[in-house]
Structure 1
Amino acid sequence: MTLLPVTVPASLLSIHRLDPESGEWGLRVDHAVATAAGETYVLTGLRRYRGHAVGSADPAEQNFGYQMITRHGVDGKPAATAVFGQAVPGGAPSAVPEGDGATLAVLPDGAVAVSSQPGSTYLLSPDLDKVLASWPMSSGWGKEEGPGEDPFAASIAVTPAGRLLCMISEYGLSDWADAHPNLVAVSGPGALLGPGHKPVLRAIATLDARTDRQSDAGRHAHVRYGDAPVGRGNRPSPSLTEALSELTGTSGNLHGYVDSTMTRPAALGDDLFVVPVFGKTYRSSNRGQEFSFALVDDRGVVRGRLGGLHLRDDSPFTGFDFTVVADPHRGRAFHLNRYGLYAWSADGVLRARMSTADRAFKPLVHFALLECTPAGELLLAHRKQHLLLRVTVPLDLDELAAAVEAALKGYGRERTALKREYAPVNWLWSDDSAGVSHL
């Protein structure tokens, strides 16, 4: 196991004279990815809110909301940080706006893509010092794609052959006014995404087919089904909503898959993907509501689900932990929620379950699962202590429980060593050794 601090540039803290002891700031970890060489990119968000600071010109009083990507070298040390989302005091406007549900992908050429909902993608240099290209998409209510918009994807995952597995949002779904993630699409092998070049994506799955309100203005020219862009009835059929309702016998059920949502698809291989789909979220408790981690191949056929989960006892709705990650090099999938850590083989068979009711695995409730690295490591972020735990997954999933238990036992020892090095205050880890670029 390896433990990395989720750092914030000391220079940024100095600009705003942020007091770590105050309760006015918050740091979140959105996502993390690693390269085959062992470098790690961590996407975070830092905010401060003061009710009396509205309109203040003093950086020490101003509210702010930044996003940051920090590259850690193979040795775990912060090597570079990009700061974006808003302009620092006295600086030019940020070229990359703050995005909701943002995730990262390291492309085959080493460039770093940051995508956010509903469908914006920004391409950064590997050293995080330049914005190479941008494809924005508005999240305005009732708005369709208009002048100046050139969306690509709400999320990107890269398969071993260099295919881009993407989640795409659409306008005009059912009675929703804004854009929602609704398509799963893939590129061909070795796809190139870069300045002046946006690869064609082939739609393989639709979440919701209620698209009567769509107009031609809302179509994405780069997302195609057959010989034309996806739109209205030109899309994969049946929809995931329909297929999962049939598979689970919940057609017509109030608590089935009508008005469901999906999160970032994960690649189990070059031609097999996991698509997390969740039933409608209600104001009251949602524990026991329908959810499926659907197995979808690159022809759009639903091959089944990741099995062995109980709707109530394993519900991801408690805590809203909806992320599934996968290791396409070894054909494994993983999920962590408040009830346990789960691992499956590529055929959807549950191979390991570590219950948080067990004393050895109870600390897992404090972590969020972010990603699986090319080396087969799970990236887990501590929700309060802002540390990134890398857990090596054994080739034999029957040995995973022992590996996770050992990593959790070693966590405290590694944390103590990092505290001596960084001297964090209130779990805010500042660092001034890495180069900082304000994008």
Structure 2
Amino acid sequence: MISRMVWTVPLVLPADLVETYAIDLAAAYSAGWAYTHDDVGFSSDGDMYVLSRLSRYKEGGDEAVDPAEQSFSFNLVARYTAREDGVPVELAVFPGRKKHSEFGDAWDLRLTVLPAGTVALSGRHDATYLVDADLTRIIGEYTTDSSRNSFEEYTVGNQFATRIRVTPSGRLLCLVEEYGTNGYGGFAPNLVAVTDDALRPEQRPVLRAVASMDQQPNHQQADLDTRPYVLFQGQPVGMGHRPLGFADSVMTQWDSLYRGRKGRFLGVPEPLADDRFVVPLFSGTFRGGSRGNAFTFALMDDEGKVLGRLEGMDDWQDSPFTGECYRLSIDPARGRVYHLNRYGLYVWDSHGTLLAKVATEVRPFSVLKNFTLLGCSPEGDLVLVQDTQHLMVHIPVPGSGVGDELAAAIELALAAFAKRRTAVKKQWPQVAWHWTWQREAGAPWLL
């Protein structure tokens, strides 16, 4: 198990991949490439899996033969144990978005470790891939051809979920897309669903839909848009059959999400307990900036009933739209919910009461603006990534983890992180804060 300490890990790039594709690590991202970190998950014995994304666009790169001139998109999954040196024990490369391939349309992936130890990667259009715990091979996949237009035949496929989370007892809490939400002719996350059955390579479990964002999507067709594995009241979801609209229920209670405005969207539902979830809902965004737009982090039970919300946030002063900070992190063991955005680090109890806010307007907490909160470890440590330096840090939350106690813990952790960062920079090869690591000979190039 990872010890309860301020643990700092460089999020590395495979040196062989960097060499093969002649990636200029010193170049600014404005030159057409990017390296980001999207999710973290933990196995039952405490192993940590980190999902990152590496992409590059070059004009004419889709047709280029020379890898140095190619456009590409890769997902990297690294597995860490309790080793203090921060060296991953495995680092797998998974192809990114590549239409009409054996991998379907794998993009915008997130990571979950299932109770059996299998790593599940799920992304847009409900594409789901299962990888063995040692990150050596894909052992199952549920995908579809997502293209849907008048020029190509659309295949329904056997997709599963866009997002998957695991409750404390092992239930799966899922976010599933539907066609035609918000009145648009396209796919978007719309259904919150649960299952008590396991997701296996040979078995796609039946999901029970408990809530929908849009109760009446448009442009659906019975032969294409009825989900046989997503049920509501015992019948497949599709056409006019689905749970009551979650967004309408929220607006009835708080009247805050811009009635009639298109573009509302769901964040990732997170489980506080087996029958208590936090479901983020955001109003539509504007091209010129969305700070001040309405949002809510609603509390919901496993029947879709809205129980309340996370209180104490102001649409303007605490806006998650600045920097697109939409995620929540959960510590079910202590009944805590965390959120980090450009204005502060927030913590609530399981009933939605705001317990603390560490504001980023004053030092030393202003540096938190450069971090993304990816999750919580099984011990309740906050897991953050320094976005531009590609360093992950585990911050223990002591005692009650509220008020001055939380602020003091964060201050000490940031100081320890700064010291450790200096040591890591001396130990690891890096260019412009991009760390490289030479995998063992014979490591698979692509899963």
TM-score class, shorter: over 0.9
Q: Partner of 1:4 in structure 2? A: 9
2:47 is aligned with what amino acid? Answer: E
User: Which residue is 1:135 aligned to?
Assistant: 142
Instruction: Give the aligned partner of residue 78 of structure 1.
Output: 88
2:110 aligns with one of 103, 107, 116:
103
Instruction: Answer yes or no: is the 8 Å Cα contact 2:345–2:359 preserved in 1.
Output: yes
2:345, 2:357 within 8 Å by CA — same for their partners in 1?
A: yes
Contact 1:84 1:94 in 2 (8 A): no
Determine whether 1:152 maps to 2:156. Answer: no
Who is 1:121 aligned against?
128
Residues 407 and 70 (structure 1), Cα distance of their counterparts in 2 relative to 1, 3 Å cut:
same
Compared CA separation, residues 241 and 87, structure 1 to 2 (3 A): closer
8 A contact 2:166–2:173 mirrored in 1: yes
Distance 1:377 1:331, change over 3 A: same
- Of residues 115-124 and 277-286 in structure 1, the stretch that sits farther from structure 2 once superposed is 277-286
Contact 1:27–1:46 (CA under 8 A) maintained in structure 2: yes
Matching of residue 28 in structure 1 with residue 36 in structure 2: yes
> Closer, same or farther in 2 for the Cα pair 1:264/1:243, shift >3 Å?
same
Matched pairs, number: 430
State whether structure 2 residue 305 is matched by structure 1 residue 293.
Answer: no
SS of aligned partner of 2:68: coil
Shift of 1:153: 0.3
> One-letter code of the match for 2:91?
T
Partner residue, 1:40? 48
What aligned pairs does 1:275-424 form with structure 2 within 5 A after superposition? 275-398=279-402, 399-424=405-430
Query: In 1, are the aligned partners of 2:122 and 2:129 still within 8 Å (CA)?
Result: yes
Question: Using the alignment, how far apart are the partners of 1:185 and 1:301 within structure 2?
Answer: 13
With over 3 angstroms needed to count, the CA separation of the structure-2 counterparts of 1:326 and 1:252, relative to structure 1, is closer
Name the stretch that deviates more: 68-77 or 331-340. Answer: 68-77
> For residue 193 of structure 2, what is the aligned residue in structure 1?
185
- 1:9-51 superposed Cα distances (whole Å, 9 cap, x missing partner): 1111121232322334321111111223222111111123333
- Tell me the SS of whatever aligns to 1:51: coil
Q: How far, CA to CA, are the matches of 1:194 and 1:386 in structure 2?
A: 33
Q: Does 1:432 align with 2:444?
A: no
2:195 touches 2:207 (CA, 8 Å); kept in 1? yes
Percent identity over the alignment is 37
Q: CA deviation at 1:358?
A: 1.7
CA gap 1:378/1:11 in 2 versus in 1, 3 angstroms:
same
Equivalent positions of 1:177-256 (< 5 A) are 177-188=185-196, 191-216=197-222, 217-237=224-244, 239-250=245-256, 253=259
Q: Do the aligned residues in 1 keep the contact of 2:263 with 2:284 (CA within 8 Å)?
A: yes
Residue 140 of structure 1 deviates from its aligned partner by 2.5
Residue 98 of structure 1 and its aligned partner are, at CA, apart by 6.5
Asked if the contact 2:180/2:217 (under 8 Å) is kept, the reply is: yes
Higher mean displacement: 307-316 or 428-437: 428-437
Decide whether the 8 Å contact of 2:95 with 2:446 is kept in 1: no
1:289 shift after superposition? 0.9
Any idea what the Cα deviations from partners look like across 1:335-393, whole Å, max 9, x if unmatched?
A: 11110110000000001101110212101100111112222122111111011111122
Shift of 1:56: 2.8
- How far apart are the structure 2 equivalents of 1:311 and 1:69? 35
**Residues 275 and 384 of structure 1: CA distance in aligned 2, closer, same or farther (over 3 Å):** same
Cα 1:137–1:206, aligned 2, differ >3 Å: closer, same or farther? same
Bigger Cα displacement from structure 2, 331-340 vs 140-149: 140-149
Which stretch has the larger CA shift, 396-405 or 337-346?
A: 396-405
Give the Cα separation in 2 of the matches to 1:286 and 1:322.
Answer: 13
8 Å CA contact 1:139–1:178 kept in 2: the answer is: no
| 1:161-180 alignment, distance < 5 Å | 161-180=169-188
Distance 2:328 2:357 in 1: 14
Tell me what 1:18 maps to. Answer: 23
Please list every run of 5 or more consecutive structure 2 residues that lacks an aligned counterpart in the other structure.
Answer: 1-5
Alpha-carbon distance in structure 1 between the residues aligned to 2:188 and 2:147: 11
Q: Residue 433 and residue 83 in structure 1: after superposition, are their counterparts in 2 closer, same or farther (change >3 A)?
A: closer
Q: Report if aligned partners of 2:123, 2:162 keep a CA contact under 8 Å in 1.
A: yes
AA in 2 matched with 1:80: E
* Conserved 8 A contact 1:79-1:433: no
User: TM-score, with normalisation over the residues of structure 2?
Assistant: 0.91
Amino acid at match of 2:345: L
- Per the TM alignment, residue 263 of structure 1 is displaced from its structure 2 partner at its CA by 1.3
